[in-house]
Every structure is written in C-alpha cells, then in structure tokens.
Amino acid sequence: MTAGPHDLMAAVAGPAPEVEVTKDMVRRGLIVAPVLIAVAAVIWGGDGAWSAAYGIGLVLLNFAVAAGIIAVTARISLQLMLAGILFGYLLRLGIIFLAVFTVRDASWISLPALGASIIVTHLGLLVWELKYTAMSLAHPGLKPTTRPAERGN
C-alpha cells in the first residue's frame, strides 16, 4: 500500500507514547539529580552545584517541551508534527544557548560544571531510558511492566 498525498494531513489518534517516555525520563532525572549535583559540588564547589542544578533543569525542561510539541502537533496533522519536530529542535537548541549565554558571567556559574551536567544528563537519561522503552510498533512507549507468565499465558 502506498501513501497518498493526503496521508500527511491526517491527525494521529491514540495514546501519546512520547509523553509517557518523557515523564519516565524526567522522573529518573529527578532521582539522579542529587547525585549529579553532589558530584559537581565535590569537583567545582558550590558554584558547580548551582551550575549542575541549572543544567539539569534545562535538560528536563528541554525533554518536556520536545514531548509537548510532538503530542500537540500530532493531534493536528503529521505535516505539522514533522515541522514541529524540526523547528522545535532548532528553537529548543536556541533556548538552551540563550539560557547558557545569559548566565555565563554570573558569579554563581561554573561553565565546566554547567556544560558537563548538560551533556551527561542528556546522554545519560537517553541511554538509561533505552532499557525501559519498547522497540515495537505493536506496543510503543514504555515496555509493559508485566511478564507473560504473570498475565496467565
């Protein structure tokens, strides 16, 4: 079956697995945040702790906004979702740049701690979430929590 020109104009019905996955990532990010902040405090002192907290907040907000853009635009049309993903990425990248640029000279900021926390949190949460994400179109989003034996199969 080939896709017609109007298929991209259709809205996506059903659950929003990106929101479910993002909530899980944010939850995990909040769990690991005290550890990352403590490590930054040991390495860079108090400024490192504040910088790590700021960086972690940026990352979690970035993930939440990305999922929100996809969830909202998918309900309208696939074309809008694709545009939202592309331009949303550019917009979110610009916002992170501006968020770092505006605090770069603040007395409480440690740029190495901020950069490290942004990179480690982004990559760490994405890799960590791979373990819990279903790689199947039959069950998108998070993997089911029950095993077949527990369901009576």
- Four-CA torsion 42, 43, 46, 48, nearest 10 degrees: -130
Cα separation, 66 vs 95, in Å, equals 12
pTM score of the predicted model: 0.79
Helix (H) and strand (E) counts in the chain: 3, 0
Tokens of 76: 């309208």
pLDDT by position in tens, the chain (length 153): 455 556 656 666 667 788 888 998 999 999 999 999 999 999 999 999 999 999 999 999 999 999 999 988 888 888 888 899 999 999 999 999 999 999 999 999 999 999 999 999 999 999 988 887 766 655 566 666 665 555 555
